[in-house]
Amino acid sequence: MEIDYTLLRPDASRNDVVRHCATAAEKKYYAVCLFPSRVLLAREVLRGTGVKIVGVAGFPSGADEPDVKLRQAQIDADEIDYVVQLGAMRDSLDDPEARKLLRREARYLAQLGKPLKAILETGAFSVKELDKLLPFIVKEVGPLLTFLKTSTGFYLREGKVVGAELEKVELLRKHTQGTRLKIKASGGIRDRQTAEKFLQAGATRIGSSTAL
């Protein structure tokens, strides 16, 4: 099971990051996922362990301009998880300018030459909406990406955090069949039993802030 062990609490201290990385090394997780400001520390702690480092851009709202996301991603990370511009994603059904923005932010980040995961914040959309949006995302943005990712774990719907949902992962699998795109399920996955269900639904990477 490939796990990105996530620490994206704004109040996480240096010691929190060091302990987080030590746990990732001990459990042989695939990667740690951290804010850009903590990547250099993680690189120092994880040297020689084989654990990769994932940095985030546009986190958690996705509302930053593409050039801002690019600056955030210009760090010593092995992979980049960026939050798509959610308003533009919603608008992309009938607005060519919104589609240009989504392509541009992916193109900016892809020039770094690192595996790129687009966080779609699937909890912000109904299954019906996502079913309409994904053909464009997969066809026109997908070639620049390595993964489609479900969630930041910070999105609120009716006052409650909405993370990964099995039906949304199944929908992602449906739309990515026949492509090289992989799926990362993250947000609210706190035990191995739940993680296994998302793998069965189509995910190939799990993101979790809990040591599974």
Q: 144-174, pLDDT tens digit by residue?
A: 999 999 999 999 988 999 999 999 999 999 9
Residue type present at position 84: V
In the predicted model, what is the mean pLDDT of residues 161-190? 97
Looking up tokens 């362990």, which residue turns up?
49
Q: Would you call 149 a catalytic residue per the annotation?
A: yes
Residue 184 and residue 96: Cα distance in Å, rounded?
Answer: 27
Regarding pTM above 0.75, the answer is: yes
Catalytic pick from 117, 149, 168, 182?
149
From 4, 81, 168, 182, the catalytic residue = 81
Contacts of 175 (CB under 8 A, 6+ apart): 131, 134, 135, 137, 138
The hierarchical CATH code for the domain 3-208 is 3.20.20.70
Return the pLDDT at 86: 95
Position 187 scores a pLDDT of: 97
> What are 122-144's pLDDT values in tens digits?
999 999 999 999 999 999 999 99
Q: Is 76 a catalytic residue?
A: no
**Catalytic residue selected from 69, 168, 182, 184:** 184
- 7-11: average pLDDT: 97
